Amino acid sequence: MAVREHTGAEDRQRRTRQQIAASALALFAEQGYADTTVDQIAAAAGVARRTFFRYFPGKDDAIFPDHDETLARVAAVLDGADALEEPLSVVYRGIREVLRMYAADPKASVARYRLLREVPALREREIAVVSRYERLFTRYLLDHADRAIGEHEDAPLLAEVAAAAIVAAHNHVLRQWLRAAGEGDVEARLESAVGIIRRRLAREGGDLDGAATVVVVTRADADPSEVADRVRKALEG
């Protein structure tokens, strides 16, 4: 009985958190990010100001309401993986959890994407948030480099490259989907993109001899999706 009550409380907290985040996005879209206050968001969500701050440190945090929970799910995927499972497959399952977070509410994800395009400071915040996933994947692949990469003198470097490449594939697919207003089977696209990366990173058995090396020179302010697209085309070519 205690477990059910605890679960119910968590569900109510999750709904409140989502309502605050949805109200924030709606107000940002209607009157602009800079002109929206915490008090307005709280009023629109039907909660007190102190309740807002119980869930979010500030209004910019309301734009990324699900990342902490998703990060925990990703960590659980990596920590709970079978010791014999191929490491890149485990990382793919982890990055799929991130994609599913966005796909669970396409309308909100598209609205968030458009807002981030308009407010550079928020884009920087998104990059910082997403980098946490890459660090998890990098650490996992480094810990399993012998199976992910094989006995290779550059295994640590290649493990980091593999993690970055899979995250880049996810980001590329996600942005293409968001630009298309959340239409289409985004999970199938991710599976295809990660398949391209995996085929280039490793042959059967995890040996990276003969793997492609791609150097892409871009502007410092280049759109990450543009960079990922150029890498993808180079790998496919």
Average pLDDT over residues 72-96: 93
Average pLDDT over residues 36-59: 94
* Residue 84: predicted pLDDT: 87
**Is residue 215 over pLDDT 70?**
no
Amino acid at 216: V
Fold classification of 66-236 (topology level)? Tetracycline Repressor; domain 2 (1.10.357)
Mark out the alpha helices in the chain (DSSP H runs): 2-31, 38-45, 49-55, 67-79, 87-103, 106-118, 120-143, 145-148, 155-179, 186-201, 224-236
Average pLDDT over residues 3-31: 81
Are 132 and 186 in contact by the 8 Å Cβ rule? The answer is no
Return the closest-CA partner of residue 164 out of 83, 231, 237: 231
1-62: CATH architecture: Orthogonal Bundle (1.10)
* Residue 11: predicted pLDDT: 81
Region for 185 from its dihedrals, namely left if φ exceeds 0, alpha if ψ lies in -120 to 50, beta otherwise = beta
* Residue 9: predicted pLDDT: 78
The sign one gets for the Cα dihedral 47, 119, 216, 228 is positive
Contacts of 125 by beta carbon, 8 Å cutoff, 6+ apart: 60, 63, 64
The mean of the pLDDT values for the chain is: 81
* Residue 129: predicted pLDDT: 84
- Domain residue ranges of the chain, discontinuous segments joined by +: 1-62, 66-236
* Residue 223: predicted pLDDT: 56
**Is residue 38 over pLDDT 80?**
yes
pLDDT tier for residue 229 given thresholds of 50, 70 and 90: low
The Cα–Cα gap between 173 and 188 comes to: 10
